[in-house]
Amino acid sequence: MPRNRTATWTRRELGLAVLLVALVVAYPVAALIGGAIPVNSNWRQADAGVRIYVIDNGIHSDLVLPVVAQGVDWREQASPADLRNPAQGGHSHMAFGWGNRDFYLKTPSWSAISPGRTVRALSGIGPTVLHVTRLPEPQVGPKVRALMLRPEEYRRLVAFIRGTFTEGPRDKGYGDHDSFYAARGHYSAFNTCNQWTSSGLRAAGVRMGAWTPFPFGVMQWL
């Protein structure tokens, strides 16, 4: 009898292992398919308007907007007083990224990533934050794309980002030029930082993939 029970548990463990491998294989395949399905397929970039940027660091993507444009002043939402060094608040642009609060605050560099914290973040546990970085206007390159939005498209993007902010703690950033703000939503394997980026662009009306958990799913459309 004990031998049968042991064999049963072994089969269960094997089944779980097979399921895990299948999920690991299926996830990137689903990301490729989801990222290839266009939303706002008729959109074309404007000749004039507000120039924004999308930055890809290989794992995470940010939306970069001018501090002041179309009557919007982001310093009203993300004050220089929130920085370790308020003097760093004079840059022309702000980068907005979204993610799990615990992972963001406790992972200042990729070398600080821990498996446990990563699993908790991907499971959807815990609140989220917006990471706001003050920076000069980016230079276009392989990991930096620019796109021109019409005024109404820019306003829709602004509304999306503003709608992500919520009441809660404000935390100093990793350095002198960034800070964290309480945010709405739950981060998970299916609702990642890159999906947040593409959701903002889709809300603005920009052509974008339907599901983009990885940055390449965002950048391939820009």
Model confidence band, residue 18 (pLDDT cutoffs 50, 70, 90): low
Q: Are strands 128-135 and 68-69 parallel, antiparallel or unpaired?
A: unpaired
- Each residue of 24-50: pLDDT tens digit? 778 888 999 999 999 999 999 999 999
Q: Which residues contact 111 (CB under 8 A, 6 or more apart)?
A: none
Distance CA 217, CA 200 (A): 14
Model confidence band, residue 19 (pLDDT cutoffs 50, 70, 90): low
Start-end of H helices in the chain: 2-36, 101-105, 115-122, 151-164, 193-204, 215-219
For position 16, what pLDDT does the model report? 64
Q: Say whether 59 sits in a helix, a strand or coil.
A: coil
- Each residue of 152-172: pLDDT tens digit? 999 999 999 999 999 999 999
What's the pTM?
A: 0.89
